[in-house]
Amino acid sequence: MAIIVRLDRVLADRKMSLSQLAEKVGISIVNLSKLKTGKVKAIRFSTLEAICEALNCQPADLLEYNQQRTS
């Protein structure tokens, strides 16, 4: 099972760059890049809230649960 981050898709839909989002949210581009590539283990709710506010989206637009079933 895994959580997939769809930040790249939402950014493309909003025609916004990572650097523009970083400026709006007040988070470094490096940290947003790590989030975008799924290289983070956790995200603070305050960070998620700020990203959702800047992108005018819901958390479910950014995060997807992918359950891998084993038989």
Residue 1 and residue 68 in contact, taking contact as beta carbons nearer than 8 Å: yes
The average confidence (pLDDT) of the chain is 92
pTM of the model: 0.87
pLDDT digits (tens, 9 = 90+) for 15-61: 999 999 999 999 999 999 999 998 999 999 999 999 999 999 999 99
Q: At what angle do helices 7-14 and 29-36 cross, to 10 degrees?
A: 110
Walk me through the domains of the chain, giving residue ranges and CATH numbers.
2-66 (1.10.260.40)
State the average pLDDT over residues 58-68. 92
The residue type at 47: T
C-alpha 25/C-alpha 3 separation (Å) is 22
